[in-house]
Amino acid sequence: MKKIFLVLLFSFIGLSVHAAETQPQPSVQTPKAPAVMTEKEKHKIFKQRNKQIRKLVKQYRKASATEKPEIKARLAEIVSQATDESMAWSKARVAAEKENLAQWEKKLQEQEQNLSEVKARRVDEILSGEAERRHKLAKKRWKKELKDRKKRMK
């Protein structure tokens, strides 16, 4: 959650800096995101970019009035690139969630059509202990997924 907040924060800062900038921007060497990356690679690029941003902010604060526009332009380019990637990620995430929602709606419609059967099956599962067993397995799986995600984010 913190990482998403940081990305959005830097995105908004970048948009305001980018909008205020009127001079052409010089090219900056920043890591480009390949089409297919692992979470670890994405996180590494995110950390590098944030490090570059912090470094440029420090340089900007210490710079003379003549150097500030150049540093600001470099910062604006990096933040612009980060914002573009963030927006692309968000769009992909929205598309994936829409697909997931469609699957849930389809499943719900199927259950509504066979509502009496679904209710009877749930009663049988509760009485047989199957519902509790499934719940325990699901809880175990959720904990493992959470643990794996935390490992990948380190």
Model confidence over 125-152: pLDDT tens digits? 999 999 999 999 999 999 999 999 888 8
In a domain, 107, yes or no: no
Give the range of the structural domain holding residue 73, as residue numbers without chain letter. 2-102
CA 118 distance to own-chain centroid: 36
In a domain, 96, yes or no: yes
* 139 shares its domain with 89: no
* 147 shares its domain with 86: no
* 30 shares its domain with 81: yes
In Å, what is the CA distance from 64 to each residue of 70, 71, 113, 141? 11, 10, 72, 56
In a domain, 108, yes or no: no
How far is it, in rounded angstroms, from Cα 63 to Cα 79? Answer: 19
pTM score:
0.51
Total domains, the chain:
2
* 70 shares its domain with 47: yes
* 57 shares its domain with 34: yes
Predicted confidence (pLDDT) per residue in 65-78, tens digit: 999 999 999 999 99
